[in-house]
Structure 1
Amino acid sequence: MAFRIIWSADGLLAIALAAPPSRVEARARVRQAVREAAAQWRSIDIDTISVQSNPGQAPALQLPDRTVGLSISHDEGLSLAAIHLHGKVGIDVMRVVAIPDWEIVARDYLGLQVTSQLAAMPAAERPLALAQAWTAREASLKCAGLQLAEWSDAIIDCRLQALPVQLPYVATLAY
């Protein structure tokens, strides 16, 4: 499986791979890539690693000696995954595009402060900034084990890391 490591730190690994058009195939490929990446990273047999997922719950990575945090995100043409050996993790990727009703989306899901910041910037810069804010929010929610919902000012205690992906994509890791 052709994946590349896009970020690594103590106990954290983020990978990227090209995603096929079929979401079902993209899901299967990223799960296989996660197993391969974990096997190489931890120097363990791939047959001792599995991806566990249950509807409505975050996936987890089962290593021979423990279960660790796993997060997966897809957008057209790109899949990302993050593994965290020491806790929960969230990852999100989004293609940068102009969204006609950006202000409603931002207000409903990113809050008034982010909406005001987006409104104050030049229109040409807004799609990138919106994608950055969106991926940060989505990754944070995943890290906290929460599903996407309309804005709440509840504090989510996760560190954020912008990930080095090429435009037209933006990605954020939360841990």
Structure 2
Amino acid sequence: MDSTVLCSGDGVLVIGVAAVLPRTEARQRIRAAMRAAAAQWLNLAIDAITLESMPGQPPRLLLAGRAAGLSFSHDEGLSLAAISLHGAVGIDVMRVQEIPDWANLARDYLGPQVAQELAACPAALRPAALAQAWTAREAALKCTGLQLMEWDRAALNCHLQAVETPQNFVAMLATIRGQTRRV
């Protein structure tokens, strides 16, 4: 499988598959790569790793019958999977690109403080800053089991960490604060 381990440590594994594929094929490929990487990481037979997925619910990962946190994210050209042995996890990836309606997007989904910070950011740096803020919010929502929603001031008690990705992508990993120290 053409996957790459992007980070590993303290019970967390993040892998990526870089390929421009139709979304259905990208989903299948990252799921297969996740199972293979988890099997190698934990020295388990691949048959001991089960992925349960039901529409409208977060995917569930069983490692030799033991539940683990699991999250997926896709953007054209890159798919990521994050596994946590310690509980909930969220991952999100986004291509860095100019978004014409960034101000409304930031106000509606990232909150007034982030919208102000982005407005003060030099225009050349804004696409990367927006991608970082967006992936942080989306990863935290996934980690806490919430779907994408407009800004609501709710505190998401997550530890956020940037994940190194190929050029022109930004990715963030979220774990419940205190559950994972550093990957």
1:17 is matched with 17
Q: For each residue in 1:66-98, what CA deviation from the matched residue of structure 2 results, as whole angstroms up to 9, or x when unmatched?
A: 111100000001000000011000000000000
- The structure where strand makes up a greater share of residues is 2
Are 2:93 and 1:104 equivalent residues in the alignment? no
RMSD value over aligned CA atoms? Answer: 0.8
1:121 is matched with 121
Q: Which runs of 5+ in 1 are unaligned?
A: none
Deviation of the 1:171 alpha carbon: 0.2
2:35 is matched with 35
The whole-number CA distance in structure 1 between the counterparts of 2:19 and 2:158 is 27
Letter aligned with residue 164 of structure 1: E
Decide whether the 8 Å contact of 2:136 with 2:172 is kept in 1: yes
Letter aligned with residue 3 of structure 2: F
Q: SS in structure 2 opposite 1:109? A: helix
Q: For each residue in 1:96-155, what CA deviation from the matched residue of structure 2 results, as whole angstroms up to 9, or x when unmatched?
A: 000001000000000000000000111111000000000000000000000000001111
The whole-number CA distance in structure 2 between the counterparts of 1:6 and 1:160 is 15
Identity over aligned pairs, percent: 61
1:69 is matched with 69
Structure 1 range deviating more: 53-62 or 142-151:
53-62
TM-score between both structures, scaled by the size of structure 1: 0.98
Q: SS in structure 2 opposite 1:150? A: coil
Deviation of the 1:19 alpha carbon: 3.2
The whole-number CA distance in structure 2 between the counterparts of 1:30 and 1:157 is 27
The whole-number CA distance in structure 2 between the counterparts of 1:36 and 1:166 is 21
TM-score between both structures, scaled by the size of structure 2: 0.94
The whole-number CA distance in structure 2 between the counterparts of 1:96 and 1:50 is 33
Q: How many equivalent residue pairs? A: 175
Are 2:33 and 1:50 equivalent residues in the alignment? no
Q: SS in structure 2 opposite 1:87? A: coil
Taking a change above 3 Å as real, the CA distance of residues 21 and 35 of structure 1, as seen in their structure-2 partners, is: same
2:93 is matched with 93
Deviation of the 1:65 alpha carbon: 3.1
Letter aligned with residue 149 of structure 1: M
The whole-number CA distance in structure 2 between the counterparts of 1:13 and 1:48 is 17
